[in-house]
Amino acid sequence: MPHGDYEKVRADIKAILKNEDYDDGSLAPVFLRLAWHASGTYDKSSSTGGSDGATMRFAPESTDGANAGLEHARAFLEPIKKANPWISYADLWTLAGCVGIEAMGGPRIPWTPGRSDKDGKKLSAKDVPPNGRLPDAAQGQDHVRDVFYRMGFNDREIVALIGAHAVGRCHPDRSGYDGPWTHTPTRFSNQYYKLLTTVNWVPREWDGPLQYRDDDDELMMLPADMAIVHDPKFKAIALEYAKDNDVFFKDFAAAFGKLIELGVPRQGGAGGGCPYAGAAQKPR
């Protein structure tokens, strides 16, 4: 497997994150979403989907409505792929998510290289996950559990992962939803849980799909976000994260590290057999 300087790729990603012309001034949220959507197609029972292969370059995954807008994230990373052609897209996309989280003040995510890219000319239908595996924002806790249990996550991991909605925003031309979840959409923190569990969220009156607004109509929650406070078990975990940012960071780092490993073949188990893992895991 070709191997190069991952610290240089980290630095190259970091160097393009700040972008005054884009959204709230940072590409980090959309890179985080790219890493999540590349990975979140995983199906434990059939061992299909996941970040390995970088199959979002190809139909049908590239045309899944859930991935609308991620073509921008992929295009922003293209010059980095050109400058470091030895890295796979699958490694680059997952690493960009991790670098983005860290640059926004989030925890260091355990990331191990070694993903390979599928060859677009030799694809069979079973190489690319079918559309519809990513969560539907319009649905509630049963759907959220179905989707994340299919990937192999438990309730605690689900609540930790969705805390990524501390950053970024919804775009009417991508998902149909509108607005950010927090007033600090480029700071990674437990702010999402604080707002989710304290604000009086009410349905927004507008032409778009059902979403919830705060008193000032500046912030939003999706129906799937509201599921976290409607479900008593989820809510208890959200309250814990709202109170303790350190616990959230620790759980998020573990859950996100697991997410980006789903479906990645490893000698000797997840992350265990990679000869380069040490080099990539320098402590901060």
Which parts of this chain interact with ligand ZEM (CB under 6 A)?
29-30, 32-33, 36, 69, 135, 137, 144, 161-162, 164-165, 167-171, 174-175, 177, 222, 224, 256
Q: How far apart are CA 284 and CA 177, in angstroms?
A: 36
- The closest residue (CB) to ligand ZEM is 168
Least distance (Å) between residue 280 CB and ligand ZEM: 20
Q: Which is nearer to ligand ZEM, 5 or 217 (CB)?
A: 217
Give yes or no: 165 in active site. Answer: no
The strand pair at 179-180 and 169-170 is best described as antiparallel
| CA proximity to 50, closest of 267, 256, 261, 272 | 261
Write the DSSP symbol of residue 128: S
Q: Which two tokens stand for residue 45?
A: 């029972």
- Name the residue with tokens 């970088």: 54
Q: Which is nearer to ligand ZEM, 127 or 187 (CB)?
A: 187
Q: Are 155 and 166 in contact (CB under 8 A)?
A: no
Q: Which is nearer to ligand ZEM, 39 or 55 (CB)?
A: 39
Give yes or no: 86 in active site. Answer: no
Q: Which is nearer to ligand ZEM, 118 or 261 (CB)?
A: 261
Least distance (Å) between residue 184 CB and ligand ZEM: 13
Q: Which is nearer to ligand ZEM, 118 or 225 (CB)?
A: 225
Q: Which two tokens stand for residue 101?
A: 């989280």
| CA proximity to 255, closest of 107, 142, 135, 145 | 107
Q: Are 229 and 235 in contact (CB under 8 A)?
A: yes
Q: Which two tokens stand for residue 224?
A: 């799937």
Least distance (Å) between residue 36 CB and ligand ZEM: 4
Estimate the crossing angle of helix 89-103 against helix 70-83, to 10 degrees: 110
Least distance (Å) between residue 65 CB and ligand ZEM: 10
Q: Which is nearer to ligand ZEM, 53 or 179 (CB)?
A: 179
Q: Other C-beta atoms within 10 Å of 7: how many?
A: 11
Least distance (Å) between residue 111 CB and ligand ZEM: 14
Catalytic residue among 36, 93, 111, 181, which? Answer: 181
Which element (helix H / strand E) includes 79? helix 70-83
Q: How far apart are CA 108 and CA 102, in angstroms?
A: 6
Catalytic residue among 36, 37, 111, 165, which? Answer: 37
Which residues are 203's β-sheet partners? 212
Backbone angles phi, psi at 189, to 5 degrees: -160, -175
Least distance (Å) between residue 261 CB and ligand ZEM: 14
Q: Which residues are catalytic?
A: 37, 181
